Structure 1
Amino acid sequence: MCFLVTKSFTLTCGVPFILLGARYYFSRKVILAYLDCVLHTDMADIEEYYIKPAGSSFWVAVLDGSVVGMVAAQGREEDNAVELRRMSVDSRFRGKGIAKALGRRVLEFAVHNNYSAVVLGTTAVKPAAHKLYESLGFRHAGESEEHTLPGMSHSLLERMFFQIRYHRYRLQLREE
């Protein structure tokens, strides 16, 4: 179609590469801005965000003396829920049950602290992440394509080339 309009073989072959390059550039830009934001807020002061506040906590998974994973729990008074946050496992150690153990630790924490539910939000595109949450008992509670990450500029080009689907999950522990 492009060739019929432009009569240019070079342009016809180049357009897909230009679009892929733009997608890569804006995806990288958004992700790096998000990481910069995270590393200068809660992950810059884990104690202040997750250790000191009552009803919140932070755990790391250690294997052979090295940190291989982490997860945070942040209490939410408004709905008596705890939010599972920042779950991450080093890619070299995935598939070994570490994420499941970290997730279970958050669930135990929620029960011990009398929360009625555990919630989480994820932008994970890998089916394994969603299967993990479901294996822990979470139910998919909705999704949005309008989600924006901290650090996003919301420019037209950014919105055109970087879209993200945000999934919400909930595990009801007891009725309020």
Structure 2
Amino acid sequence: MTTLDVRRFRDGDGPRVRELNEAALRSAGDYIDDVPEPDLDDVPGHYLDRNGEFLVGRHGDELVATGAYHHVDEWSLAERFDFDRRTAELTRVRVDPDHQRRGFGRALYQELEYRARGDGYHQIVLDTGAGNAAARSFYESLGFRFIGEERFHGFGETFDLAVYRKSLIG
């Protein structure tokens, strides 16, 4: 594995974060044009100021990875599962397609998990495309357990989502 320097999102990271988000989603076949991304319009207000986190990973001078968590109340699927106030949703985990399979996603996730524990969260939940075998394998390798599949309708599309959970206790 090559070195990844992980740090908190800063002013000025926004354009590259958006570019990376789109590139990673396109590479996975999950990109949809014109989907609103209000969290990326205001990362501090959506994550940093609300008991969440948004990290970026740099390899040399290039921002190549992102990942975030926030309180599960912001999650569209929260009402379907029994999550309490100590549950965080993992989101925006992206690695530049030219830098994948180097351990960058794992390194960034490990720092996110460490910080989530420090913020008092007891578990992390996430969803990913049910047909995205690479993402599902990645999350399972990190200790996430599959808890169900949900169908989501939005943005003129229907998505089948795989939902995962990981305990941070014990």
Aligned partner of 1:50: which letter?
Y
Aligned partner of 1:64: which letter?
G
Higher helix share: 1
Unaligned runs of 5+ in 1: 1-27, 154-161
**Alignment-derived partner of residue 46 in structure 1:** 43
Unaligned runs of 5+ in 2: 1-28, 74-83
Q: Does 1:63 align with 2:69?
A: no
Aligned partner of 1:97: which letter?
G
Aligned partner of 2:162: which letter?
H
Pairwise CA distance, 1:170: 0.2
Pairwise CA distance, 1:124: 6.0
Q: Does 1:174 align with 2:169?
A: yes
Instruction: Indicate the SS of the match to 1:95.
Output: coil
Q: Are the aligned partners of 2:71 and 2:85 in contact in 1 as well (CA < 8 Å)? A: no
1:1-176 equivalence runs, <5 A: 31-34=32-35, 37-38=36-37, 41-53=38-50, 55-76=51-72, 78-123=84-129, 125-144=131-150, 146-149=151-154, 152-153=155-156, 163-174=158-169
Pairwise CA distance, 1:71: 0.5
Which runs of at least 4 in structure 1 moved beyond 4 Å after TM superposition? none
**Which range is displaced more, 105-114 or 63-72?**
105-114
**CA gap 1:130/1:68 in 2 versus in 1, 3 angstroms:** same
- RMSD between aligned alpha carbons? 2.1
Instruction: Indicate the SS of the match to 1:68.
Output: strand
TM-score, reference length from structure 1 = 0.68
**CA gap 1:108/1:132 in 2 versus in 1, 3 angstroms:** same
| Offset from partner CA, 1:23-65 (integer Å, 9 cap, x none) | xxxxx9x81132xx01xx1101111111111x20110010111
TM-score, reference length from structure 2 = 0.70
Specify the structure having the higher radius of gyration (Cα). Answer: 1
**CA gap 1:82/1:122 in 2 versus in 1, 3 angstroms:** same
Instruction: Indicate the SS of the match to 2:33.
Output: helix
Identical columns (%): 27
Higher strand share: 2
Distance in structure 1 (CA, Å) of the matches to 2:159 and 2:111:
28
Distance in structure 2 (CA, Å) of the matches to 1:172 and 1:33:
34
Pairwise CA distance, 1:148: 2.2
